[in-house]
Structure 1
């Protein structure tokens, strides 16, 4: 079954703007925030909650998940295009933030990620491989206040 070309990007961060990054298992050295494709029948919030739990073990109900009302449309990297239908070249990514009170323990999914780290937001933005991920992290200060 092909992936739906709609995804979420969830910037997990602390109140003092430390950002959680995950290293991709299928591409060592590629660091990113939580990402994932929407499943059929899911709302974007449900997708964000599921991906956060699958990739970190965190329950978004325990923290502040916010929709940043940001969409990015980009061409799917060639190396991952096989996951989508034959004529699909673009994905629409929806950006969310998950604000934690401080650094908390996470449990990464071994089949998806090799490692994790917490970095100050500016360093995190320069570490991620995706330009849309970097842009989202750079906007973190304007989205980080409790709502």
Structure 2
């Protein structure tokens, strides 16, 4: 018998994965083909540190191991940006009744060019590396696009 899934915590991370030359990794959502985004994900528990959430989500969604020699933990930077946005109605059922907004914390992750990506097939269909401006234009989420446009000041 399946146990009911707990409600999602309305606090999440957005991780802009990029290279030194401002190429940005975007993922196409499996549940919404045509919707491209950076790595995103909610805390698993209320006391989970945001850095831990970012490390976990990047690993789950891309297979990139933060903390490895190729991608040290120091390459993950908290940009000290937060967005509060209304949760799209199509995804509100994942949250407790009455929850309509999410707080998203923005991180950047510098990876070497050519870093292999292994998608979680239940979450994403495809990935692509794009110039940062093109990546911002491709995002379906305005907060994700705005975060990518901030990239030059964090490199």
Could you tell me which runs of 5 or more consecutive residues in structure 2 were left unpaired when the two chains were aligned: 1-5
Could you tell me how far 1:133 is from its partner in structure 2? 0.3
Tell me the distance in 1 between the aligned counterparts of 2:21 and 2:125.
25
Could you tell me how far 1:101 is from its partner in structure 2? 2.4
- The 5 A counterparts of 1:1-147 are 1-40=6-45, 41-62=47-68, 63=71, 64-144=75-155
Once superposed, what is the RMSD of the aligned Cα atoms?
A: 0.7
Could you tell me which runs of 5 or more consecutive residues in structure 1 were left unpaired when the two chains were aligned: none
- Normalising by structure 1, report the TM-score: 0.96
Aligned length: 144
- Normalising by structure 2, report the TM-score: 0.91
**Cα deviations by residue, 1:42-68 (Å, 9 ceiling, x for unpaired):** 110000000000000001113200000
Structure with higher Rg: it is 2
